[in-house]
C-alpha cells in the first residue's frame, strides 16, 4: 500500500506531538518522583538522558532532518525496552522485585509514558518506512510502470 501525501503529513504532525508528550511525561516523573531519585538514581539519570534526547529529536524534526525519524525509532525502542526491563526485573538494589513492579504499574505517569513510547515507535517506524514503499522511491518494492 502506497502512503498518500495527506497520510504522510498527518504522520509528520503526530510524531512530534507524541515525542513532545514523551518529553513532558519524562520531565513530570523527574520533577515529581522523589522516591525514584532516592532509591534508583541510575534510573532517574537514564530518564534524564531520554528527556534530553527527546528534546534534541524535536529540534531535528523542527528543522525537518530526515535522520530524526530514524533516531526517533531507535530511541523509542530503547526507552520502551528499558521501561519493560524495569517492570520485568529492573528493581534497584535492596528493593524486592514485586514491590518495584507494583510501584511502577501503579504509577499512572509511568504507564502513560510506556504507552506513548509504543505509539512513538509505531508512528516513527511507519514514517521512516513509508518512503521506501513510494512508487517514486528507487528502492520501492511496488514499482508501477507508466506507459
- What would the pLDDT profile of 9-43 be if each residue is shown by its tens digit? 888 889 999 999 999 999 999 999 999 999 889 99
Q: Is residue 146 part of a domain?
A: no
Residue 93 pLDDT greater than 80, yes or no: yes
Angle between helices 67-89 and 41-62 (to 10 degrees): 160
Closest by CA to 111, choosing from 89, 85, 73, 84, is: 84
Residue 137 pLDDT greater than 80, yes or no: no
For the beta carbon of residue 35, count every other beta carbon within 10 angstroms. Answer: 13
In angstroms, the CA 47 to CA 53 distance is 10
The CA-atom distances, in angstroms, between 84 and each of 42, 110, 111, 114, 125 are 16, 11, 10, 8, 19
How many folded domains does the chain comprise? 1
The model's pTM is: 0.83
Pairwise CA distance, residues 22 & 51, whole Å: 8
Residue 112 within a domain:
yes
Looking at residue 116, what is its pLDDT? Answer: 98
**pLDDT score at 22:** 97
**Would you state the pLDDT for residue 134?**
63
- Cell numbers 521501561: residue: 83
- In a domain, residue 41? The reply is yes
Tell me: pLDDT of 145 over 90. no
| Average pLDDT over all residues of the chain | 86
Whether the predicted pLDDT of 129 surpasses 90:
no
Q: Which three cell numbers stand for residue 49?
A: 538522558
Q: Render pLDDT for 37-46 as a digit per residue (tens, 0 to 9).
A: 998 899 999 9
pLDDT tier, 146 (very low <50, low <70, confident <90, very high otherwise): low
Q: Is position 66 within any domain?
A: yes
In a domain, 138, yes or no: no
Residues in the chain: 147
Q: Is residue 68 part of a domain?
A: yes
Report if residue 139 sits inside a domain.
no
Q: Looking at the domain assignment, is residue 144 inside a domain?
A: no
Grid cell at residue 74: 531507535
Domain that holds residue 41: 5-133
Amino acid at each position: 500500500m502506497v502512503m498518500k501525501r495527506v497520510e504522510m503529513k498527518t504522520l509528520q504532525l503526530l510524531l512530534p506531538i507524541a515525542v513532545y508528550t514523551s518529553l513532558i511525561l519524562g520531565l513530570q516523573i523527574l520533577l515529581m518522583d522523589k522516591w525514584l531519585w532516592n532509591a534508583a538514581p541510575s534510573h532517574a539519570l537514564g530518564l534524564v538522558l531520554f528527556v534530553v534526547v527527546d528534546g534534541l529529536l524535536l529540534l531535528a524534526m523542527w528543522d525537518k532532518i530526515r535522520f530524526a525519524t530514524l533516531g526517533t525509532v531507535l530511541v523509542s525502542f530503547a526507552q520502551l525496552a528499558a521501561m519493560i526491563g524495569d517492570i520485568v526485573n529492573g528493581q534497584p538494589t535492596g528493593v524486592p522485585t514485586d514491590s518495584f513492579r507494583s510501584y511502577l504499574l501503579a504509577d499512572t505517569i509511568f504507564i502513560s509514558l510506556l504507552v506513548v513510547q509504543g505509539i512513538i515507535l509505531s508512528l516513527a517506524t511507519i514514517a521512516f518506512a513509508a518512503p521506501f514503499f513510494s512508487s517514486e522511491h528507487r528502492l520501492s518494492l511496488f514499482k508501477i510502470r507508466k506507459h
